[in-house]
Amino acid sequence: MQVFIRIFPYVKRYKLLAFSTLFCAIAGTLMVVVFPAITQRIVDQVIGQNQPEKLLPLVGLGLAAFIAQNGLNSLRIFFNNHFEQRVIFDLRSELYAHIQRLPLTWFDNRATGDVMTRLIEDVTSVERVLIDGIEQGTVAVLQILIVSGLMVIYSPLLTVSALVPIPFLAAGALAYTLTARARYRKQRKAVSELNSILHDNIAGIRQIKTYTSEEREHARFDGASDGVRKATLTVMKTWAVYQPGMEFFSSCGILIVSGVGASQVLAGNMEIGALVAFFVLTRFLYEPIGKLHQLNQIFQSGRAAGERVFEIMDAAPEADEGEGAPCPEIHGHVVYRDVSFSYDASIPVLNGVSLEAPAGSMVALVGPTGAGKSTIVNLLVRFYEFTSGRITVDGVPIRSMSRQYLRNNIAVVTQESFLFNGTTAENLRIGKPDATEEEIWSALRAANAEEFIRRLPKGLHSQLGERGVKLSVGEKQRLSIARALLKNPPILILDEATASVDTATERLIQEALDHLMENRTSFVIAHRLSTVRHADEILVLERGRITERGRHDELLERGGLYAELCKSSLIESETVAVLA
């Protein structure tokens, strides 16, 4: 019922389509009255009273009724599909918009395949509940009412006989409904798990191949696939008992009608034509009852899917406290005061971090893996919210700015440069949607990426990514530098690559980075001595605390962790940098 209520607002938007569907369905159903009446007249008048001249008009009337019935049916399917697809579109679109507003912590705890299953499959299943429910449910109930009414007119006694199985049918439906939820939940979950493994393995196919773990992964995939098989079979097994069981009771109804009806005719209480008409009616009575059982199945499956869809809808999006706040130009004076943070409440990741980066300065973050370097910069873009302390940009607390405004003023260049499926121009325009080709070329030039883009068959308009040209790590990195240059924000976050690239490429990247860092406040998660040397301040991080700070020479002299890191080549002085 919950799902029903929540999906209703989406359906309400298309009143005309809903009304047209329902109108065609009801008008089509009304045609069921015609056929039994014609049958009765053919038996009693044409055959019984030998009036062959009535046969043709009666058959003609039947033909007209069938044409009307199926014409209306065709229209109904047409309207219904439009109605259905619009509701699915809206629901999916709103769900997607909501997903984009969810905080990163939400994504940290979700498998991509699961989210995709919910957005693609579960949405369709949910929507069927209401549309099929309204349409087929209304038609079925209407048909049952009309047909039972007609039956009473033909023979109250036979009507009672025909209704004998109804309590059994109701009891069966109730038992099915009460137990179905658990079965469908399990099935939806199993499908999600299978999709998650598939997504994971396709993304990680290189690792699977290098570790030659194909067989293990295949077994894991088969395990999940077997889970889907079992869960689906459980659903089907119940259906296999339920559906024929319900058919059986319906058939019993027809048998009872035959017995009672025949004795009525024999006793002279009923015409044969009326009995034949009654048989036709009995079939028309049980047909919608069978449909209601099928609807019940759709309903139960939709209910389980609905829980999964609305679970996402109910997840709290990133609150935008700073919405509507003034947006003065940002110069990039960044201050952290006593900032602490933990991803999950139990393990503190940052502990009383304080730092100051005047506009245009460069701060290098160094320290062992897991010390919290990435976490510090994640807090600045508000990917995560710090637990205590204060972060300000130009004296304004970042929490009083809207996230959008804040992020518009920061560029992040990470180790793994992500390129979307699309052209070079499209990928770069993410940085500045209205950038002209001139501007794009000049950003590419500054990022030392002009040459290899010129060599691509369609230049700026060559497809990149999964479906296009594959670029090397160094080339991708320079493209992401160009993207940041186009965006041209006052603050830059740079996660220096640890991947090995050849000396020439290294130099090209370094030059591009130097261009990028000019006149910006830069936070660099540094792995190279060449970068750290030029930093205005180096912060050494150990287990979430800043333990040393100063310029390169000062820190070397001190002989602390920084000096050790330099000595033990954790910060490489060579061009090839690999972090332990």
Query: Which of 131, 121, 112 minimizes the C-alpha distance to 306?
Result: 121
Please, what sign has the CA dihedral across residues 258, 263, 269, 273?
A: positive
Distance CA 113, CA 304 (A): 18
Considering only residues 204, 317, 370, 559, which one is a binding residue for ligand ADP as defined by CB under 6 A? 370
Residue 407 beta carbon to ligand ADP: minimum distance, rounded to whole angstroms: 18
User: Which CB sits closer to ligand ADP, 217 or 572?
Assistant: 572
Residue 514 is a binding residue for ligand ADP (CB under 6 A): no
Give the CA distances from residue 298 to residues 170, 235, 304, 524, in Å, rounded to whole numbers and listed in that order.
Answer: 17, 12, 10, 55
Considering only residues 85, 369, 500, 503, which one is a binding residue for ligand ADP as defined by CB under 6 A? 369
Part of the chain binding ligand ADP (CB under 6 A), chosen from 127-135, 371-379, 389-397, 465-473: 371-379
Tokens of 492: 């830059």
- By CB under 6 A, the residues from 311 to 330 that bind ligand ADP are none
Single-letter amino acid code for the residue at 265: V
Cβ pair 355, 407 in contact under 8 A: no
User: Which CB sits closer to ligand ADP, 302 or 372?
Assistant: 372
User: Which CB sits closer to ligand ADP, 373 or 476?
Assistant: 373
Part of the chain binding ligand ADP (CB under 6 A), chosen from 249-257, 373-381, 414-422, 550-558: 373-381
Distance CA 323, CA 401 (A): 7
Single-letter amino acid code for the residue at 349: V
Residue 542 beta carbon to ligand ADP: minimum distance, rounded to whole angstroms: 10
Strand partners for 537: 363
Considering only residues 123, 129, 169, 371, which one is a binding residue for ligand ADP as defined by CB under 6 A? 371
- Secondary structure class of 210 (helix, strand, coil): helix
Single-letter amino acid code for the residue at 382: R
Residue 448 is a binding residue for ligand ADP (CB under 6 A): no
Angle at 459 between CA 436 and CA 503, to 5 degrees: 105
User: Which CB sits closer to ligand ADP, 154 or 341?
Assistant: 341
User: Which CB sits closer to ligand ADP, 232 or 414?
Assistant: 414
- By CB under 6 A, the residues from 518 to 557 that bind ligand ADP are none
Distance CA 484, CA 509 (A): 14
Residue 106 beta carbon to ligand ADP: minimum distance, rounded to whole angstroms: 11
Part of the chain binding ligand ADP (CB under 6 A), chosen from 6-14, 242-250, 294-302, 363-371: 363-371
Cβ pair 212, 329 in contact under 8 A: no
User: Which CB sits closer to ligand ADP, 124 or 351?
Assistant: 351
User: Which CB sits closer to ligand ADP, 99 or 228?
Assistant: 99
Burial class (CB in 10 A: 0-12, 13-18, 19+), 443: buried
Distance CA 332, CA 77 (A): 60
Q: How many residues bind ligand ADP (CB under 6 A)?
A: 11
Sheet of 388-393, strands arranged across: 350-357, 334-341, 388-393, 396-397
Distance CA 151, CA 261 (A): 12
Element (H, E) at 507: helix 503-517
Residue 77 half-sphere exposure, CB side, CA atoms within 13 Å?
5
Part of the chain binding ligand ADP (CB under 6 A), chosen from 168-176, 368-376, 396-404, 566-574: 368-376
Considering only residues 4, 23, 343, 452, which one is a binding residue for ligand ADP as defined by CB under 6 A? 343
Query: Which of 405, 344, 404 minimizes the C-alpha distance to 375?
Result: 344
User: Which CB sits closer to ligand ADP, 149 or 370?
Assistant: 370
Residue 373 is a binding residue for ligand ADP (CB under 6 A): yes
Q: How does strand 396-397 pair with strand 388-393? A: antiparallel
Residue 372 is a binding residue for ligand ADP (CB under 6 A): yes
- By CB under 6 A, the residues from 100 to 129 that bind ligand ADP are 108
Residue 349 is a binding residue for ligand ADP (CB under 6 A): yes
Residue 416 is a binding residue for ligand ADP (CB under 6 A): no
Considering only residues 375, 427, 480, 505, which one is a binding residue for ligand ADP as defined by CB under 6 A? 375
Contact letters for ligand ADP, residues 139-178 (x by CB under 6 A): ----------------------------------------
Part of the chain binding ligand ADP (CB under 6 A), chosen from 4-12, 294-302, 372-380, 465-473: 372-380
Residue 382 is a binding residue for ligand ADP (CB under 6 A): no
Instruction: Identify the residue whose tokens are 């309207």.
Output: 79
- Secondary structure class of 354 (helix, strand, coil): strand
Q: Which residues here bind ligand ADP, judged by CB under 6 A? A: 108, 343, 349, 367, 369-375
